[in-house]
Amino acid sequence: MSFTLEQLIEIFPDRLWLQFSSEERDRIWLQAQTYSNQSSRWTAYLNLLCLNSFLQYINSDPDLQNESLKICFSDLDKIGKSSLWEFINGTALEIGDRRLILIPQDTVSPDEFSVPWEWVDIPALAGDYYLAVEVNVDHQWLQFWGYTTHQKLKEKADYESRDRTYNLPKKTLIEDIEVLWVARELCLPERTELEMRELPNLSHRKQQDFLIKWSQNSTYSPRLELKEEELTTWTALLISDRDRLDLYKRRINSQKNVHLGAWLKNIFETNWQSLEDILDNIVDTSKEPEMKPMYAFRGKETNSWGNSTTTIPAIIDLLNTNINSSNTFRGVQRAKRIDLDIKLDIPSVALIVTVVPEKNKKAQVHFRISSLNLRDYLPTNLNLEILDEEGQVFDRIVSHQSDNIIQCGLQCNYGDTFGVKVTLGEISFQEQFIL
């Protein structure tokens, strides 16, 4: 059973409920695109929605609007964007002499409050109060469903080593945020004194080695792969504005070429999967048989090879066959899921890349965009572009109404580099390839 916002406010009157407009939602989604992977972009998106709404609340409250306010670690622009969101979830604000840490989540009615260890154990990042925020993107509201203190996190929370978070049961949080403002006025000490780990005195070469290691392109933050002996170096990097921003920029610029030549040797990047693996992460295909045959066309066939209406038979045969990715004679195929928009009416799509080797060190490379659910059509005016090594558009195809698939391709020599760009309005996704 779903409730309206009005009903939720009536059920939980002590919680702080804030709303945002669809225009704010869409504008902030665009602002969150300057991060290296989908996970960090989503983290930035939730934090920007949370920060923007909370600042409006502070500025509209007569008891708070005259307080000194500082957005901490806002090093990317003047609206509060932080390079920290590339690595950890959370936003730090200083109101008067107290630091608040906002931790937004899109989990519906979570059972516990999870805080990344960095916000708790690193003195330069730690706060006095930690606010749990649920962000409902689809219904355009957020709720501050409770808060706790640094002292309680250190003394009562369970530490989860797998994702490196401190976790408190929901029932231990204080729901009424007004209690926080009263406690703040009483100047009650809430931050536990932390013993700062001795930070390593790294040589320039050693520091560069860590920056190179952690700047590798990945689908998640490097914090999840840290070894215990690397924690102090990680701490030193996060609290250094210069080094943190340097690592952020390196990760943004580290979009590696996808090596299609290696695919023909059955070597694949971890973020490129078989279609079956992508579908298995979305739906139980044994219960949804129509979801499985992704290789078949449905409805209107939009076949384009370059600007020609003739499609190479080997490619069509390849796309309509359950391809064995190790069959280097026939060719190989891999796919990547693309989430173009957070709106419910914009389905996720897959970029499907097929490589068919030819004689004389040449290959046909075929790019296809398909909905992940064959019952969905592609959004109208979805652009699929092939870019040459200079970034210029070599070929383009645009989806029309009722298209399920758009596709194009090229013939190239081993060693050639090129790119693919998928665009819908102001949102885009781009990958670089080398054969």
Q: What's the sign of the alpha-carbon dihedral 104, 110, 116, 120?
A: positive
Alpha-helical segments (H) within 287-365: 313-319
- In this model, does residue 126 exceed pLDDT 80? yes
Average pLDDT, the chain: 80
Helix/strand number for the chain, H first, E second = 12, 18
Q: What is the reported pLDDT for 374?
A: 63
3-state DSSP assignment of residue 324:
coil
The helix-helix angle for 204-214 and 241-252 (nearest 10°) equals 40
Q: What is the pLDDT confidence band of residue 306, given thresholds at 50, 70 and 90?
A: very low
Say whether domain 5-185 belongs to CATH 3.40.1350.
yes
- In this model, does residue 379 exceed pLDDT 80? yes
C-alpha dihedral, 303 to 307 to 312 to 316, nearest 10°: -20
Q: What is the reported pLDDT for 89?
A: 97
Region of poorest pLDDT, from 195-209, 263-277, 351-365: 195-209
Q: What is the reported pLDDT for 362?
A: 86
Quick: pLDDT tens for 23-58: 999 889 888 888 888 789 899 999 999 999 999 999
Q: What is the reported pLDDT for 347?
A: 67
193 or 426: whose pLDDT is higher? 426
Instruction: State the CB neighbour count (10 A cutoff) for residue 38.
Output: 15
How would you label 187-215 residue by residue, b for 16+ Cβ within 10 Å and e otherwise? eeebbbeeeeeeeeeeeeeebeebeeebb
Dist CA 34 CA 23 (whole Å): 19
Say whether domain 258-434 belongs to CATH 2.40.50.100.
no
Tokens of 388: 């040459």
Q: What is the reported pLDDT for 125?
A: 94
CB 153 within 8 Å of CB 164: no
As a whole number of Å, the end-to-end CA separation of the chain is 52
The helix-helix angle for 231-239 and 204-214 (nearest 10°) equals 90
The helix-helix angle for 38-60 and 22-31 (nearest 10°) equals 130
Dist CA 294 CA 184 (whole Å): 57
- In this model, does residue 207 exceed pLDDT 60? yes
Q: What is the reported pLDDT for 53?
A: 95
Q: Flag whether the pTM goes above 0.75.
A: no
